[in-house]
Structure 1
């Protein structure tokens, strides 16, 4: 009683803050518990919030609803914005290359899940708020829950009814984690898949198709038509993403310039896309197994230089005048991916350039790029807040679609996400730089989702036990199982049996379709191969966007 009296003397803002902090602390501890890599993860915060919300309701303590509302929305905005910044650089690339098949599989899982959810609504007459919560929980996608609560609020649904979305999410979430694991096991056992063979097939395919590491090779000039021709005049050299980073003539290793004349027997070290390199071999002569990668004992050197100077942002490589400075760029690494060095490639903040030349010449060009490595550890908060502003504006624009009773809005979940993806792709806009160090991104993302889940749990906690024991909670749990298993099982077996997708890659795609890190950990535990991680990363950006938009479309269609 003394503790209850003390708590009642705390200001409403202080009490709500304490409840949020307690939910976050207990939830992170709960989410950290796991068995063989399987646990609640960040979802533990929601269950802790439900627990704290239940007992504050029992004790008669009043938590300021306006504060919980703001914390929930602001946490959601921070979370989805940082996700967009993280996945943005690779989002459009993931829709190309070999990732296209993976994304089609993942999109099929999402769409079939939406169809299953809508079918359950008409069969079992599940209320729409609970329905979208069930779907988000069944696929373990927390941003989807955020989008659902936001669109319900925009539709004018009362707060006590909106809380059904959180309750549906909570009862469906545990089996959502288990269901993806059961699907992986079922596909493996029913189809008698051998992991060793899948590993070998994946490595063979990756060796054939190349990796994200930009390939390089050495070519000796055998084509007599090129004798005396300047490097810049060789067909397709430099302008097709292929760069000559070193030239060896006799025993002398030198830095190649476009104006340098070629001679028979010259050995060139080429860097670029694999198909373009193959074409250059046909033009120049033949590939040779001679090491030109070491510059030790020569006048040449190479250094990695970071693009941090404002004046370098947006500059094309052709406009930098590097040729006159006797240096060249052989590689550009952006967001962990090496890009072909093309003359029209525009530099972005955080690009890492491999600069080749004499040490003194490299030092002379560093001021062009900035090369302030400490800047890569700083959060560009002006860009963060400007991006959030644009995201809120974008999310508030009504978009009319034929057949929908009301315009669709991206809302506070979709708007900041789309804005962040586009801005991170652009890199900068005027004085605003949209770059965030991975460590800072992870910290802000974690903070945002903890605030969101804590507030959601606290608001719904007073009804959770009643719904679970005396209400439709157990029935909802069964519906959640259906939403989890039907899309995964159907698409999983079809992808393997019909399209012969590598099982390890498929496991990563299944985990990515649920945006479920514990499932990825389980898939990685089956093999030492990177196949599952590659599949997961390939589909994550597209799936995250679809999972956020899907609940909004369902609400607009069914309400």
Structure 2
């Protein structure tokens, strides 16, 4: 076996492939209702690397490759969360503050318990970093032998315990109050005597309802609508939106008609079209001027697995599948204009990827002087995540498209994660056997376990009970508070990449990353 491990040690790219094969296969095995998914790659890397140390062989994935994987993962996660992140941020700053306070309490527990065991400050800081799976915090602690041993002992329990808490968050947290409701379509016959306009209806019911067709009677032509369309008694109007709102519109305007305007496609047709023309990516729906050009409207947008009502201010992304309503003779023109190519689903946009990584890595290198602590930086992961959030939100800077399709970003998240988890596994696996033979290993383990449980249970209870975060977003928040990409992968795998997971992760990750680094430096200095 020594020769086999020596061969792997000399061929790190082959080693990477083996980690992914073994971990990927194991990750598909179900343990009750749970599959580990990509997190199994991390466990496989830890196990094989630890096994190699028995034969005095050190298995390593080059650090630059691991950092690249982490940067790609964080940037693509930001792209996925960006469109909804800033709207959530306005109402979630208190939640972020609560997570920071929980981490401070966990650090206090680590200092208190570590002090009882008479552990030096650097050992406590390293144990704290391992308990919360945060390598930058280990670096801030100085990466001394004592800190490194504490990190290795606490790391595995921190990972497994937080994996369990993430599963608890996803399965037993508060009910998702922000579940997107399925969209329904109905035709209402207007009974009100006073004329009204589509603009008036949007003022009354908001933009989560769409009005797509009108007919003056069941025998008249079916016409498209715009904000200035006037509606009168006995008109038939198509309404699209969440069921409860559609029922409210029907109740307020008249009654549900047995005549289905959507089924009558002679005057107005509809088609699902993929946005694949890069010139349209990042543009608002209103900027396309489909009504003026083609007498067409976009009624719905499907992004990933989520359907939602189109609004004039919604920014389109490559790969969005839009439901267009237009006269039959115009449908093909609209299709050519929007692109409707499979390329729109998979274009990684090299300009966005390269530019985002460069900007994010540069941001992560900026040193900010902090009195008493020296110079601190947010690091590569937080830097690329923040840049990804901004680029995912704006979509376009002048003529330059700076985002990418949902499908392509999802693939990059998984690719970057597999590379990083393999790297992280070799780092922990090379130290773990030595760490557990250290005389103070039990002291490190108890200290780290308490830090993990206080932080994990604290976030779960405070955010779940006090802030009533729904279970899907709560799973992402628990993963973000741990700053552990493997937990995000697990939550994504369990929810089929529900965007609320990435939003929850992105909400707390940067603040959690920074506060952990600062706390570790304070503990090591003490």
TM-score normalised over the length of structure 1: 0.73
Matches of residues 343-492 of structure 1 in structure 2 within 5 Å?
343-400=312-369, 405-429=373-397, 430-438=399-407, 440-489=408-457
For 1:494 and 1:235, how far apart are their aligned partners in 2?
Answer: 38
Moved more, 246-255 or 159-168: 159-168
> In structure 2, how many angstroms separate the alpha carbons of the residues matched to 1:136 and 1:410?
16
Does residue 333 of the first structure (1) align with residue 302 of the second (2)? yes
SS at match of 2:189: strand
Alpha-carbon shift at residue 243 of structure 1 (Å) = 3.9
Shift in Å, 1:428: 3.3
Cα shift at 1:247: 0.7
2:235 to 266, 288, 305: 266
3-state secondary structure, aligned to 2:180? coil
The 1-side partners of 2:57 and 2:456 are apart by 43
Change (3 A) 1:276 1:68: same
Matched, 1:320 2:288: yes
Q: 1:115 aligns with which of 105, 113, 134?
A: 105
Verify the 8 A CA contact 1:398 1:408 in the aligned structure 2: yes
| Shift of residue 301, structure 1, vs aligned partner | 1.1
In structure 2, distance between residues paired with 1:132 and 1:92: 33
CA distance in 2, matches of 1:514, 1:316: 32
Distance 1:224 1:348 in 2: 42
Return the alpha-carbon distance in structure 1 between the equivalents of residues 306 and 167 of structure 2.
30
Equivalent residue for 1:245? 212
- Structure 2 vs 1, CA of residues 129 and 416 (structure 1 numbering), >3 Å: closer, same or farther? farther
Contact 1:255 1:356 in 2 (8 A): no
For the 8 Å contact 2:282–2:394, the answer to whether it is kept is no
Q: Which residue of 2 aligns with 1:554?
A: 519
Report the Cα distance in structure 2 between the residues aligned to 1:300 and 1:37, rounded to whole angstroms. 46
- The structural deviation recorded for 1:288 is 2.8
The residue number in structure 1 matching 2:137 is 148
**Partner SS for 2:289:** coil
Matched ranges for 1:101-140 at <5 A = 108=98, 111-125=101-115, 134-135=127-128, 138=131
Quote the offset at 1:289 in angstroms: 4.5
1:170 corresponds to = 156
Question: Alpha-carbon deviation of 1:328?
Answer: 1.8
SS in 1 for 2:437: helix
Equivalent residue in structure 2 for 1:36, among 32, 39, 43: 32
For 1:30-109, what aligned pairs fall within 5 Å after superposition?
Answer: 31-32=27-28, 35-37=31-33, 42-61=38-57, 68-95=62-89, 108=98
Equivalent of 2:504 in 518, 525, 539: 539
The Cα shift of 1:160 comes to 9.0
**Is 2:474 the partner of 1:509?**
yes
The CA deviation at 1:356 is 0.8
- Matched pairs, number: 510
Q: Is this contact kept in 2: 1:106–1:509, CA < 8 A?
A: no
CA contact under 8 A between 1:20 and 1:454: conserved in structure 2?
yes
Bigger mean CA deviation after superposition, 391-400 or 45-54: 45-54
Alignment partners' CA distance in 1, 2:247 and 2:75 = 41
Contact 1:180/1:485 (<8 A) preserved: no
- Given that 1:395 and 1:416 are in contact with CA atoms closer than 8 Å, whether structure 2 keeps it comes out as yes
Q: Distance in 2 between matches of 1:234 and 1:521?
A: 38
- Deviation readout 1:277-334 (Å, 9 max, x if unpaired): 799779x833435453533453221112222213323444344333332222222334
Change (3 A) 1:481 1:129: same
Closer, same or farther: CA 127–32 of 1 in aligned 2, 3 Å? farther
1:76-120 residue CA offsets vs partner (Å, 9 max, x unmatched): 2222223223333332344478xx6xx967874564144213431
Corresponding residue to 1:288 among 253, 256, 261: 256
> Cα 1:404–1:360, aligned 2, differ >3 Å: closer, same or farther?
farther
Q: Kindly state the Cα deviation for residue 366 of structure 1 after the two structures are TM-superposed.
A: 2.2
* Partner of residue 195, structure 1: none
- Please list every run of 5 or more consecutive structure 2 residues that lacks an aligned counterpart in the other structure: 481-486
Secondary structure, aligned partner of 2:446: helix
State the 1:392 CA deviation.
0.6
Measure, in 2, the Cα distance between the counterparts of 1:343 and 1:517. Answer: 32
Change in Cα spacing, 1:409 to 1:305, as seen in structure 2 (3 Å) is: same
CA offsets 1:366-425 (integer angstroms, 9 cap, x no match):
232222233213332332122111111121223456x56234322111111111121112
Query: How far is 1:266 from its partner?
Result: 0.6
The question of whether the paired residues in 1 share the 8 Å contact of 2:157 and 2:449 is answered with no
8 Å contact 1:81–1:420 — kept in the other structure?
Answer: yes
SS of the equivalent of 2:239 reads: strand
